[in-house]
Structure 1
Amino acid sequence: MNDLPLTLQTLMAGALAKHAARPAVVVDGTAWTYGDLDRAANRLAHALLALGVAPGTPVALMMSNCAEYVVADLAVVKLGAAKVPLNDMLSPGEATYILRDSGAVVAVASSSQLDVAMSCLRAGEALRTVVALDADEAPPPDALPWSTALAGRSEDPPAVEVSATDVGLMLYTGGTTGRPKGVVHLQQQLALNLLAHRIETEIRSEERLLLSSPLPHSAGFLLQTALLAGAVSHVERGFDATAVLRAVTEEGVSFLFMVPTMIYRLLDRAAEGAWDLSSLRTILYGAAPMSPERLAEGLDRFGPVFMQLYGQSEAPNFITRLTREAHVTDEQHRHRLRSCGQPTAMAEVRIVDEDGRDCPAGAEGEVVARTAYTMSGYHGLPEATARTLQDGWLRTGDIGYLDEERYLYLLDRKNDMIITGGMNVYCSEVEAALREVEGVAQAAVVGVPHPDWGEAVVAFVVASEGVTLDETEVTRQCRGSLSAYKRPKAVHQVDQLPLTVYGKVDKKALREAWQAMAG
């Protein structure tokens, strides 16, 4: 018996055929039907096939939000290739490392990342071809223009057999080593993850989504979910609160995905004018909890539309979910707003102590999870994989507790991660960059509360003997190795870093020092 393999290819093929005549995405005012996307993706898939791309082959998508990203994403799905998504917020150093570490053989790049892609191509390593999106300026002669790649290609689906065990995604995330780690996902787990997104988001065929955060991150999973459901996605190149409210009012947008910082901007703008928000059904948020005060304000202004997700790149987006029904402010249940919800349909969650034993309800410990879509491991990092995946359970590195009703409350991040504006920043990565700055002998980084970004990155540095450091110059020298959101918002020079009794940097003392300085 030949069973149909559970892959992204099989799921998406059915959706594209079923909804061929319906609108699928709207980008820059232009609507694409499912049929339009299907045909364009087939043409690109045939081009990639001719370039040597096969199931499991790493293909880098180096683009900001645009229609070509959607087409390229689907082309990779059709071939069962391994998508390596990079957004244009990455520094050149980060993007170069990811291209080399992943072993991507083809990169599809927009102008903002074309220079990095071409540098890797000319270095003569794994990367063999760079497909450059069409722009006003002609691409370099050793790049393959997008229009040329698609010219004359068949609009029929490529005849490629994809296995459930083929690598389908290499999603790079920061880590305690200071280098991004490639989180590897196989086709079957990606298909199950897509089905989990469909269940948990409750996206319907009549839905209109607005996606303005980077598609190489969580928004890309939601785009695929919308396509599977037959919904319409309005893809924006960036976030603008007025544009979002206008889309809800004029286009009937019903589903928004945002980080808390974006929701705060939306609330402020909504208070300044009259908008028809009656179509709005869901505001899905994640990456960080919302402040209780602003969440209450949001419920009052937008109604019971909020839904929170908690996940990791290792188990994308849905380990727990705080439902719309749980977003209530009455005295009996308002404490749940501090949680990130209960385990999802395809996930289990436990809290364990340092010896791996289960903690009772209310007791703090490390959050461990088991899902149907947990990563297979970290690319080329067997030791890191073994530390993170233990007996089928994902060690999240987050500290929290479960209450009697199995609502999960996060307290801290064991792996010392800062979440600023919905983006993950690992202290060790920033500290490593700071130590490369001339005159810096020691460095420690902490996250401090920020009214808009949730947390801000603050650095404490010890200068080399006889050196007086300039804050602006320290930050400037980090530009080549750190993205803008990872760079410290403040740098404080200190004579020495405080230590715990165990000889480790006392970051609690540093936060207290910052509070004292902030008044």
Structure 2
Amino acid sequence: MSTFPQPLLDALAEDPRRTVLEHGDRKVSSGELLATVRRMVGALEENGLGRGSGVAMLTGVSPEAFAAYLAAAVAGCRVIGVRPGYPPNQLRHVLTTGVDVLVTDGPTIYGRTITVAELADGPRRDLDPAGGPDDVARLIYTSGSTGTPKGCMQSYEAMSHHWSWAPDMWDDDTRDLAGHGERYLLFGTLASAVVQDYVVLALHSGGTAVIPAVDEPLPYAIQRYGITGTILNVPRLYQFLDILRARDVDTSSLSGMVVAGSPLPPHRFKEAVDRLGPVVYQAYGQSETGNLTLLTPAHIETHGPDILSSVGRPHAHVDVAERDGELYVRTRYAISGYWADDEETADLLADGWVRTRDLGHLDERGFVHLTGRARDVIIVNATPYYAGPIEAVLAAQPDVDQAYVVGAPDELTGEAVHAFVVAAPDRVPFDDALRGAVLDALGQACVPKTITLLSEVPVANSGKPDKHALRDSLR
């Protein structure tokens, strides 16, 4: 097994003339990318940075930024992607925890800073991956939705057995997905491990990563650049479908689109398939585990529409177990723990298994179904009720497009259920009908005390629906 990131270096070296990145009018060949990486490795070395150094990345999406991530990995650094949008206290925590230098697009006021341009002006060095198996390759910070962001430590050993970075680990579903990366739309933030993992899948398979104009709506970017594959979260899919309902946009070049970040309700999954054709994949994973499952168009064709309630089949190198309704997983590319947080690590890891804190089960065909979050609990009259099943009942109603449930303090019951819904196109949900559906399915304690109609759901920096904002709106 080659040491991370050697397999990608080898793939890029196979054809130095191949275009691997497009950014506006720029076309960057694999040879040019590798030359930039060599100079960046030299610049890191000149600055005393190498194996074990903490290198934080606060950059936009560009060929040079991608090269900086790859160079830091070659040098054996602990690479820390910094997501945009952290509030000041959380950003301070991320940038002062095990960070030796901050790489940016331009000068900042934080400590020791090197710009991407300065890195690209370094002396050339050979590309010999320096990371040791137990060294931390990536420190992936969580969104901070539960307070202080946690740093997920993914070792060089784990990355060397990674589901997308190591082609020797690819199973049939991964190879199928990789086949749609001929022109892959690279957007969002490179600080996201998910963004990195999927673009690397495309590069490994001979594709080109296309960086669109900033804030260009996704359907128009697909049409403009002839995109064949991309990944997006559920809120972005909803925006995508809203545009397609109102505009005639040609997305026929698209052959593989992955939806990830949170479960997609079956009726919205079906709408996406009906509008786009058999090109929609659903993926499930976590910062702590990486991608775990994939639901493919072939699965849907084989098993029929009822399979849309699942998040797919585990990858070949992923084991899934159910313990008291909660899912535990085991894979060689999972994290080794949280940075400087032994207590949370002990709560996460158990005898080689990772506690997902997601509720769900495996069906008889080997597909994973999620039913809620173990911590997404509302205590009504001293009895816990999970938000997921309530949301599923509401989202299944014909007048509802999206549904989200939170708990809030209540003088009579301790906590009460509060629902937020987005109406289906040209429909008007009636509160009594929605409450009746929940009553019939789940009982009185789960019936929402309030139902708020939204035009759109607020989205957190992680790209997921912002339940903290919804809860705060009740005050």
TM-score if structure 2 supplies the norm length?
0.77
How far the C-alpha of 1:277 sits from its partner, in A, is 3.2
Unaligned runs of 5+ in 2: 379-386, 419-443, 455-475
Q: 1:344 aligns with which of 312, 315, 318?
A: 315
Partner of 1:130: 113
Query: Map of 1:356-505 to 2, 5 A cutoff?
Result: 365-416=325-376, 460=408, 496=411, 498-499=413-414
Cα RMSD for the two superposed structures: 3.2
| Pairwise CA distance, 1:309 | 0.7
Secondary structure of 1:8's counterpart equals: coil
Render the CA deviation track for 1:205-255: whole Å, top value 9, x for unaligned.
9711012222211112112222223310112365533xx334433433110
Residue aligned with 2:344, SS: helix
Q: Please point out which of 170, 180, 200 is paired with 1:224.
A: 200
* Aligned residue among 106, 109, 114 for 2:104: 109
* 1:165-186 CA distance string (max 9 Å, x none): 2210110115696221111011
The secondary structure found in structure 1 opposite 2:308 is: helix
Residue 306 of structure 1 is aligned with which of 264, 267, 280? 280
Q: Secondary structure at the match of 1:168?
A: strand
Cα 1:176–1:226 shift into 2, 3 Å = closer
- 1:296, 1:174 → 2: CA distance? 29
Cα distance in 2 between the residues matched to 1:454 and 1:96: 35
Task: Please list the CA deviations of residues 410-442 of structure 1 after superposition, one character each: whole Å capped at 9, or x if unmatched.
Answer: 11101339xxxxxxxxx9xxxxxxxxxxxxxxx
- Distance (Å, rounded) in 1 between the aligned partners of 2:453 and 2:224: 44
- Residue 274 of structure 1 deviates from its aligned partner by 4.1
2:11 corresponds to 1:15: yes
Tell me which residue corresponds to 1:80.
76
Tell me the distance in 2 between the aligned counterparts of 1:29 and 1:274: 26
| Amino acid corresponding to residue 295 of structure 2 in structure 1 | L
Question: Shift of residue 49 of structure 1?
Answer: 1.4
Cα 1:281/1:82, change in 2 over 3 Å: same
Task: State how far apart, in whole Å, the 2-side matches of 1:403 and 1:160 are.
Answer: 41
Residues 11 and 53 of structure 1: CA distance in aligned 2, closer, same or farther (over 3 Å): same
Q: CA deviation at 1:292?
A: 2.7
CA shift at 1:98, angstroms? 0.9
- Name the counterpart of 1:324: 297
Out of 289, 292, 297, the position equivalent to 2:263 is 289
Cα distance between partner residues in 2 of 1:235 and 1:375: 29
The count of residues paired between Structure 1 and Structure 2 equals 408
Q: Structure 1 pair 174/453, CA: closer, same or farther in 2 (3 Å)? A: farther
Give 2:135's aligned residue.
166
Q: What secondary structure is seen at the aligned counterpart in 2 of 1:337? A: helix
1:255 aligns with 2:216: no
- What TM-score, normalized to structure 1? 0.71
Go from structure 1 to structure 2 and tell me whether the alpha carbon gap of 1:314 and 1:416 turns closer, same or farther (over 3 Å shift): same
Distance 1:249 1:515 in 2: 41
Name stretches of at least 5 consecutive residues in structure 1 with no aligned partner.
122-128, 133-145, 354-364, 418-426, 428-445, 462-493, 500-504
Over 3 Å counting, the alpha-carbon distance change for 1:348 and 1:106 in structure 2 is same
C-alpha distance after superposition, 1:343-362 (max 9, x if no partner) = 11110111112xxxxxxxxx
1:7 counterpart SS class: coil
Return the alpha-carbon distance in structure 2 between the equivalents of residues 414 and 459 of structure 1.
14
Identity %: 26
- Paired position in structure 2 for 1:63: 59
Asked whether the 8 Å contact 2:5–2:74 carries over to 1, the reply is yes
Structure 1 residues 45 and 289: CA distance shift in structure 2, 3 A = same
